[in-house]
Structure 1
Amino acid sequence: MRNPALAFRPEPGAIPEAPGCYQFKDGHGRVVYVGKAKSLRQRLGNYFQAWHNIAPRTRAMLEAARSVEWIVVDSEVEALHLEYTLIQRHRPRYNVRYRDDKSYPHLVLTASEEVPRARVQRGRVAKGDLRFGPYAHAYAIRETLDLLLRTFPVRTCSQGIYDRAARTGKPCLLHHIDRCAAPCVGKISLEDHRTLVERLGHFLDGETGPVLRQLEADMQAASAELNFEAAARLRDQLTAVRKALEKQQVVSAKSEDFDAIAIHEDELEAAVQAFFVRRGRLVGRKGWTVDKVEPLTTSQLLTSFVLQLYADRDDDIPPQVVVPVEPDDAEALSLLLAEQRRHTRAGSRGRPIQRVRFQVPQRGDKVAFLETVTENAREAFQRARLKRASDFESRSRALKELQDTLDLDEAPLRIECFDISHLGGTEVVGSMVVFEDGLPRKSDYRRFKLSIDRNDDFASMQEVIRRRFARLAQTQQAPAPSEVAATEQAVRRFAYPPNLVVIDGGVGQLRAALAGAGELATADVAFVGLAKKFEELWVPGRSRPVVLPRGSEALYLVQRVRDEAHRFAITYQRSRRSSSVASSALDGVAGVGPARRKALFRSFGSVAAMRRATVEELMAVPGVSRTIATAVHDHLHATVEDAP
């Protein structure tokens, strides 16, 4: 077979020999693969050789591609960084994607807030917050935190509880059981409370010696002064701290910081485990799985993983990473991570900035520790093999079944589903959810507030589809920004056309959607309506519906898409309804605009709580004078009296 990439092969002399990144794009201009190279000319030449010399997974990418572009940079370090940025922006189908094998919780100190608190949290944290972990189980964090609160009684309550205590002047139960210093009522100043949070952060970061020595000295001093009650309290705090330390496994006799990474893989999949060691103690671990949709060596896989890992943990990059093999482009990778370390929390605490060193241990404790990490990767790999519902093969099979059943020219790699939600014709909203390669792409979800509230699903669906495809046409006609500038901008909305549009409903909704799209939708976009009663697919031009076999991957996929669209629509509709009810309760109150209304709801949380409040409690809200508080109080109570 002839190499299809030869149809768009650039002239060899036109490709620079400089370092940079290249992007293969499909017929719609969608990026399907991003790569980097020390020499663009040499690397791109490998894609235009004889077809039988190209790896099967690379062939699949070249069959989908219709053009190739490149960006020249000054160094390998810049190429490495740009490659990661482009992959994160475009999410190309044929680049590997790392999936967390579970959502790991962290212990977070919200230093970005005026009154910081300790909390268990999953996912990303706010800029400036301190996070520790991740931990395998949430209960492990809570047990550790409960022990540490005896010594570091920092705030752990929600903002609502904190505001209520500050308003009433009464601390909550946690203060009475010595688990909170109660900054809400002034039992401790905000400055001293922040110092307490910082001390807890240092302790969690491994600086345990000063805390233990101080508690020991304070206990001895209290005992010498015959203050046995204080000495007993300090003894209990010391015991709690030591128990918390026992929960952290000692990995190294030295007080050193490093991460250990291990990979277990076959030709199609890989499992990666990372263990985090600080001050010689294991403080957290995390695992990922990946479908190897591109042919990568272990070194190349390790490089892409390290970039992903420390993009998510840029506030905690250690000076040393223990690995089974040296990563590809280790020198450039080390320089890139060293630059990131200049902005980390570790650097700001006075520790010297140093390059990140990749160590392949040959003997000693680290060899044994890396074997433990590798064993964890092996076990995770076996678990991932048993969980096939979301794997690459199952998703590909579902897309192929849809292609064959609906007689599509190509597999529907991008599926968009639309749904309408309302309550008796009020607060009518629409939703658009996007699945790519059989997985939800939540960054591309969109929601619509309809121009007119009406109890007419057909007209509403027609408006939503018309607006979606009008925006697509507008985006495609607009001049595209340069690729370098695009990496610094938000992704343009509605930028890519769908292969398949699924309408939540039967024949009527499908006809309305087609009328809404009109001439804006090209022949490449297929439409189907998914009837809820029998899970039938209605296809334009067919008198009878398509019935997918029960238990098929294709049916499971369209059900997931439909259910997600319904969830997204009804969530938006409920939020609109709630805000409408909340705002209407304060409509007509002189002096209460959007800012004061927001402040009132932030302080009280609900209309019912405002109704129970006195005028003095309403005045405690910033920006609310006695005149306004009296007006709000009278209006809310008049509303109750007037109600039938």
Structure 2
Amino acid sequence: MKDLQQKLKALPEKPGVYIMKNDKNEIIYVGKAISLKNRVRQYFQNSKNQSPKVRAMVNNIADFEYIITASELEALILECNLIKENKPKYNILLRDDKNYPYIRITNEKYPRIMFTRKVVKDGSKYYGPYSSAYAVRETIDVIRKMFPIRSCNVDVDKKKGKMRECLYYHIGKCSAPCTGKISYEEYRRICHDVSMFLDGKQDKLIDILKQEMKAASDNLDFERAARLRDQISAIEKLMEKQRVLKLDMGDVDVVALARKGDRVCVQVFFIRKGKLIDRDSHILKNTEHLDDSEIMAGFLKQYYSGLSFIPEEILLMCETGEEEVLSQWLSDIKGSKVRVFVPKRGEKLDLVKMVKNNAEDTLEKAMDLAALDKKQNNAVTDKASLELADMLGLDAAPYRIEAYDVSNVQGSESVASMVVFENGKPRKEDYRRFKIKTVVGPDDYSSMQEVLFRRFEHARRQDDDKFSRMPDLILIDGGQGHVNAALDVMRDMNIDIPVCGMVKDDKHRTRGLIYRGGEISMSMTSRAFRLVAKIQEEAHRFAIAYHRILRSKSVTKSVLDDIIGVGEARKKALLKHFGSIEDIKNASLDDLKKVEGINSKVALSIYEFFHSGGQKDKGDQIVD
């Protein structure tokens, strides 16, 4: 403490960043200050006015460092980078660091519509962000049904007139500019209509389309008139579902929070061209040591430091004391003026209140769900699980147990399985299979580390509901080496979950458990032994089954596997009907339709595959 007092006296009255460390030299808090001397000293003054959490943090401070910066803005940028890199225990930490999805209209002679997570200054138009990748892909699909704009990467100028129409042309999702079936002017008009739709100018777009429909009808071009009529109908249906805010504003984010106990929900509404397009929620824990302004400031720094798109205005529920420097920082990132402020009256204040109400509702539901999960986790009725907890000396019986097994044959096609048991029963919908990606050769330890890292990385990113629930106990098929490898990953990811190794005897039968450096013998007549043996057998079975599937696929691979709409049953039907791949390739569209189980759409897909280059369209089917 004497050393700290000496360092406190030497603090400069300059802007900068301060870094608090514990007795293990770990960074536990990072903050910024206009005056390092005044701000850092506050932590070590009379603690009566400090919250218990702040007192706990100060009690853990064994040392601190500081970095002087030229300005408060420079301090803010450095603070953001240090928090992101070190993830200090007492800072506000967002659980995910995701890049949000956008819709992109490319800046090309023949523009494309694309899904992207990155906004770059390349002249393209970007719409978003959206919180759901699924919603973006669905929106793109709807747009292409209304306006047949291309999504492929074909060089239209080079290939124009030299290509056949693809499947998307035949199902009405592309106007095929690469074939010359549509003029350049007509294609650009379609792209303009897409931009108007995404800009929120649906009313104006409908008026234009109605005029074009009338003109087409007057010219007796009834096919075009019918197509325009269908577009107008589709847009009107979408407009009925869309929430419209009667505000004269451009691109705006609205940020508000609600708190209950040690939980805070921060909610962000994305408003683009006066329309609410999406929202995003973040549940923050261990925030009782911070007031609303500190939470809001900490959230904004982390949230917008990784965001590709910055709006023109950010409306806040409460003052942070840093609005001016935040505005300057975000303006530098965006390359144009950004205003961060708290509205005091009018429609913008009403909008902030609406977001706050939504944040309160989201937090209430999240806490109800957490309470339900906690109640469910505590309601362990399985006697084998209770017996296992007693055997391992656990504080509570494990409700959710996850078991892992790695399988390979001479190092080829290495795979792993994750099986889940809840309250002593298998929960097969949560089972997962992994194909080892980074390990070459039969290295079970490294393979297990890869699998565990991927499993808990999914949980951190919250990109798969099946990985969102954390286990109470992890069982690894293997001995002390496997357990040590698993524990290394857990320590690196700062995850504290008991890990046991399931060891076998000379006859490859379950023998006992490796836990905390020693082996726990188990009576073969005990319920705990039967549960562990069942879990071990299930993990091994699931891994071997996956391994056999991959080996079978590699043996029975066929060019037909690459055709959209052709599965195992249709592949067999085609081979039975024609006798060979060559005869299928030479078959006409009408001949293909005669095959049992092959409808017109699939027949067209097969025909196009063999007559337009046979590009592979099926994605990676491995579930991770």
**Do they fold alike, i.e. is TM over 0.5?**
yes
Structure 1 residue aligned with 2:233? 239
Q: Indicate if the aligned counterparts of 2:99 and 2:307 stay in contact, CA closer than 8 A.
A: no
One-letter amino acid of the counterpart of residue 17, structure 1: E
Structure 1 residue aligned with 2:212? 218
> Mean alpha-carbon deviation: is it higher for 267-276 or for 216-225?
216-225
Q: Give the alignment of 1:67-146 within 5 angstroms.
A: 67-99=63-95, 108-109=103-104, 111=106, 118=113, 124-125=117-118, 130-134=126-130, 138=134, 142=138, 145=140
Q: How big is the shift at 1:85? A: 1.8
Q: Give the alignment of 1:373-412 within 5 angstroms.
A: 373-388=355-370
Quick check: 1:22 aligned with 2:18? yes
Q: Indicate if the aligned counterparts of 1:388 and 1:394 stay in contact, CA closer than 8 A.
A: no
Quick check: 1:367 aligned with 2:358? no
Structure 2 residue aligned with 1:531? 502
CA distance in 1, matches of 2:301, 2:10: 30
CA distance in 2, matches of 1:432, 1:86: 37
One-letter amino acid of the counterpart of residue 58, structure 1: V
Quick check: 1:12 aligned with 2:8? yes
Partner of 1:21: helix, strand, or coil?
A: strand
Alignment match of 1:176 (pick from 170, 176, 184): 170
Structure 1 residue aligned with 2:432? none
Structure 2 residue aligned with 1:335? 328
One-letter amino acid of the counterpart of residue 244, structure 1: L
Q: Indicate if the aligned counterparts of 1:134 and 1:284 stay in contact, CA closer than 8 A.
A: yes
CA distance in 2, matches of 1:273, 1:391: 23
> Once the two structures are superposed, what CA deviation does each residue of 1:116-170 show, in whole Å capped at 9, x if it has no partner?
755678xx4575783435267957973x5565435421236899xxxxxx99834
Structure 1 residue aligned with 2:399? none
Structure 2 residue aligned with 1:627? none
CA distance in 2, matches of 1:43, 1:432: 51
Q: Indicate if the aligned counterparts of 1:132 and 1:204 stay in contact, CA closer than 8 A.
A: no
One-letter amino acid of the counterpart of residue 265, structure 1: R
Structure 1 residue aligned with 2:517? 540
CA distance in 1, matches of 2:253, 2:343: 12
* Closer, same or farther: CA 235–392 of 1 in aligned 2, 3 Å: same
> Unaligned regions of 5+ residues in structure 2, if any?
155-160, 378-387, 395-401, 419-435, 451-472, 504-509, 576-580, 587-608, 615-624
Structure 2 residue aligned with 1:149? 144
Q: Give the alignment of 1:425-504 within 5 angstroms.
A: 425-427=410-412, 449=439, 453=442, 460=443, 504=476
Structure 2 residue aligned with 1:422? 407
Q: How big is the shift at 1:543? A: 5.5
Q: Indicate if the aligned counterparts of 2:315 and 2:352 stay in contact, CA closer than 8 A.
A: yes
Quick check: 1:275 aligned with 2:274? no
Q: Indicate if the aligned counterparts of 1:320 and 1:356 stay in contact, CA closer than 8 A.
A: yes
CA distance in 2, matches of 1:10, 1:572: 63
One-letter amino acid of the counterpart of residue 362, structure 2: A
CA distance in 1, matches of 2:279, 2:257: 14
CA distance in 2, matches of 1:106, 1:337: 20
TM-score normalised by structure 2 residue count: 0.61
Partner of 2:358: helix, strand, or coil?
A: helix
Structure 1 residue aligned with 2:279? 285
> Once the two structures are superposed, what CA deviation does each residue of 1:99-132 show, in whole Å capped at 9, x if it has no partner?
479x9995633749998755678xx457578343
Alignment match of 1:510 (pick from 477, 480, 500): 480
CA distance in 2, matches of 1:534, 1:95: 45
Alignment match of 1:319 (pick from 312, 319, 322): 312
Quick check: 1:254 aligned with 2:244? no
One-letter amino acid of the counterpart of residue 281, structure 2: G
TM-score normalised by structure 1 residue count: 0.59
CA distance in 1, matches of 2:170, 2:500: 60
CA distance in 1, matches of 2:364, 2:374: 16
* Closer, same or farther: CA 257–51 of 1 in aligned 2, 3 Å: closer
* Closer, same or farther: CA 110–100 of 1 in aligned 2, 3 Å: farther
Partner of 2:175: helix, strand, or coil?
A: coil
CA distance in 2, matches of 1:432, 1:13: 58
CA distance in 2, matches of 1:207, 1:100: 34
* Closer, same or farther: CA 23–614 of 1 in aligned 2, 3 Å: farther
Q: Between the two proteins, what is the percent identity of the paired residues?
A: 29
Quick check: 1:356 aligned with 2:328? no
Q: How big is the shift at 1:333? A: 0.5
Q: Give the alignment of 1:555-634 within 5 angstroms.
A: none
Structure 2 residue aligned with 1:596? none
Structure 1 residue aligned with 2:380? none
CA distance in 1, matches of 2:235, 2:101: 19
Aligned residues: 499
Structure 2 residue aligned with 1:297? 291
> Mean alpha-carbon deviation: is it higher for 55-64 or for 302-311?
55-64
User: In angstroms, what is the RMSD of aligned CA positions?
Assistant: 6.0
Q: How big is the shift at 1:196? A: 4.6
Q: How big is the shift at 1:379? A: 0.9
